[in-house]
Amino acid sequence: MSGAAELVRYELADDIVHVTLNRPERLNAVIPALVTQLVSALRRAIDDGPAVAVLQGAGTSFCSGFDLRYERGERTEQEHRRQIDAVQDVTRLIRRADFPVVSAVQGFALGNGCEFALAADLVVAEQDATFGFPEVGWGLSVTGGVSQLLVQALGLHRAKEMLLVGERFGAEQAQAWGLVNRVVPTGKLDAYVRELTAELAGRPREAVARAKRALDLVAAGPLEASLVVEVEHALLSGKSTETARTITGFTTESGGGPG
């Protein structure tokens, strides 16, 4: 990425890819260039064909959501649509990959960050991690297929509560609801993820791919339908919330953290 900031790091070693959101000074808050680099990294991983991939955040947080300090400037509806599509491509690419993708969550996973984390095949979180979807409170819309994925995981009424009320929730609550696979003590995330990815990498690759593909087929049709609806809702939200300074149709209270 010569001449551009490395907002997403890509590393391949021992048949395991690590994709790292790399804006730790802003709690890995999302800006358009970060989404572009994340999509490119996921496409590169699919081309490389590792045994497993890890999606993680540098520093103290996984991803605190869209960066409210980002000055987006003027944009056409076509540009806005492309930006929303790019965010949704994160979910599409994770689902398309033949290998499992593990999200390793510490600190905040809010808005965009929560969507990125939950799009993964397996979610591991530190005990003090915080999740949430504050979009509706800002007059904005969720994307990334979350409207369908949450209903599938939680049931309709719990999903509505999560999106309409928008309260933050911890890792243990997320695990109780079935959104997180494992909760580990604070400071033990990297060690546990190393053990998990080594175990996954040692399993028969074709069998893992077939199992993932079979399970994802259950959600494939409804997920694409939800992505289409989310784009239209995000476009409408963007038109009615220009003062929220968001380019993807949603944001978070954290605004990328203090500082």
Of 222, 223, 242, which is closest to residue 80 (Cα–Cα)? 242
Note if 135 is an active site residue: yes
DSSP states of the chain: -TTS---EEEEEETTEEEEEE--GGGTT-B-HHHHHHHHHHHHHHHHH--SEEEEEESTT-SB--B-TT-------HHHHHHHHHHHHHHHHHHHH-SS-EEEEE-SEEETHHHHHHHHSSEEEEETT-EEE--TGGGT----TTHHHHHHHHH-HHHHHHHHHH---EEHHHHHHHTS-SEEE-TT-HHHHHHHHHHHHHTS-HHHHHHHHHHHHHHHHHHHHHHHHHHHHHHHHHHHH-GGG--SSS---TTTT---
HSE (CB half, 13 Å, CA atoms) of 240? 11
Six-digit token string for 165:
């009320």
**Catalytic residue, candidates 6, 79, 126, 135:** 135
Q: Which amino acids are annotated catalytic?
A: 135
